[in-house]
Amino acid sequence: MADIVLDKVSKKFPDGTTAVRDVDLEIADGEFVILVGPSGCGKSTTLNMIAGLEDISSGELRIDGQRVNDKAPRDRDIAMVFQSYALYPNMTVRENMAFPLRLAKLDRATIDQKVAEAAKVLELTPLLDRKPANLSGGQRQRVAMGRAIVRQPKAFLMDEPLSNLDAKLRVQMRTVVSRLQKQLGTTTVYVTHDQTEAMTLGDRVVIMRGGAVQQVGPPQELYDHPNNLFVAGFIGSPSMNFLPATVEQGTLRTALGDVPIGDRIRRELEGADAPRELILGIRPEHFEDAELVDEETRRRGAEFSAPVDIVESMGSDKYVYLTVEGGRASAAELEELAADAGAADFAGAGSNLVTRLSAESTVTEGEHRRVWFNLEKIHLFDPSNGRNLTLHEAHPAGAPAA
């Protein structure tokens, strides 16, 4: 068990591309940290550098206070779980799990005992004498975890360990991973491209984009106070709605109508030296069917009416897609997010607004509906650099969690 410190760690490939740029990160002993971002953001490269599978171009990596930049993976005492599981096909489950222990030259009795323990924790005992080829995906995944935990390493590194499982099993294994990590209390770095996994698993989440860290913090903080457009759009499902907005004489002119700017936002905008063209961000759950909003709440928000495109009833809520006129918000970050979601070439004429309304709402497809949204929860972003202009002072941009 150990802490892991990345001190201005960078990775430049021989062809000149920079995969990871000046990453500063302190991972405390026993902490569960998630690296998340779209593909190509450098999260796997970062993990591989911690493991020692990739050389570090510049900066320093310390495990347990020791500089390990030049140490081979085998001397770092870390265990890694791969997306492909990377089980040795010629060995049985038992031999797979015993492999690191045999290499460490432990005696037979100790090896047998440790393997049996790990197998029990992961419910692999009946499968110990099978070959990986005769296991299901979920079982292979557990064997890969078993091989990592038998050694009691200083840290676990996991590279999208659940991505090859089907959706249902993935949710199930998520809790297994989480419980296991808490039980063992081993420092864990977990890479994923799935923001749901990131939100549910980690103590802290590191959001990366283009090789640079965007924001580090507990999941809820990232969700409530994203410090830029990219984080805001990446975290949350369905993702935040973005609309172009203009500041004019104390009001905010948007496709949802003119909205008065409250004291809080005015103060923040003045302090931030904001441009007049902004991007307005509202999360789907901050909308509500206007009929269901009481007078008291109504005053804290604004209302607009729009044609209802599609209603998806989830049982607990209704996802309602509204069509609003007006241009789409445009910024480099948003295009990247759209490209990652595979929706770059799939832009409708009007910007579609995703809202999450109460299940009691009687909204139907095709009608015009009045919808209320909470002004206290809106975010305003600077389109030129993506910065969130409406962060509370208690949460200055870019501050890592305590």
Partner 1 sequence: MSGNATPAGADVAADEADLRTGGRQAAVPAQRANRRGRAPLSENKRAERRLGLLLCAPAALVMLAVTGYPILYSVWLSLQRYDLRFPAEREFVGLQNYVTVLTNEFWWTAFGVTMLITVVTVAVELVLGMGLALIMHRTLVGRGIVRTAALIPYGIVTVVAAFSWRYAWTPGTGYLANLFSDGAPLTERASSLAIIMLAEIWKTTPFMALLLMAGLALVPEDLLKAASTDGATAWQRFTKVMLPVMKPAILVALLFRTLDAFRVFDNIYVLTAGANDTSSVSMIAYNNLIRGLNLGIGSTMSVLIFITVAIIAFVFVKLFGTAAPGSDDGERR
> Residue numbers of the site for partner 1 (CB under 8 A)?
48, 51-53, 72-74, 76, 78-80, 82-84, 86, 88-91, 99-100, 103-104, 123, 126-127, 130-131, 133-134, 136-140, 147, 151, 157, 164-169, 172
Question: Least distance (Å) from partner 1 to the CB of residue 270?
Answer: 52
Nearer residue to partner 1 within complex by CB, 87 or 280:
87
Question: Least distance (Å) from partner 1 to the CB of residue 187?
Answer: 15
**Residue 99: both structure tokens together:** 């492999």
181, 235, 249, 182: which is closest to 379 by C-alpha?
Answer: 235
Nearer residue to partner 1 within complex by CB, 48 or 181:
48
Please tell me the distance from the alpha carbon of residue 104 to that of residue 55, in angstroms, as a whole number: 24
Residue 255 Cα to chain centre, angstroms: 29
Nearer residue to partner 1 within complex by CB, 148 or 378:
148
Nearer residue to partner 1 within complex by CB, 164 or 305:
164
State the Rg of the chain over Cα: 24
Question: Least distance (Å) from partner 1 to the CB of residue 54?
Answer: 10
Q: In the chain, how long is the greatest CA-to-CA distance?
A: 78
Question: Least distance (Å) from partner 1 to the CB of residue 237?
Answer: 19
30, 362, 45: which is closest to 213 by C-alpha?
Answer: 45
Nearer residue to partner 1 within complex by CB, 110 or 220:
110
Three-class SS of residue 289? strand
Question: Least distance (Å) from partner 1 to the CB of residue 145?
Answer: 13
Q: What's the burial of 350, exposed, middle or buried (CB within 10 Å: 0-12/13-18/19+)?
A: middle
Nearer residue to partner 1 within complex by CB, 80 or 322:
80
293, 39, 302: which is closest to 159 by C-alpha?
Answer: 39
Question: Least distance (Å) from partner 1 to the CB of residue 163?
Answer: 10
356 HSE (CA, 13 A, CB side): 15
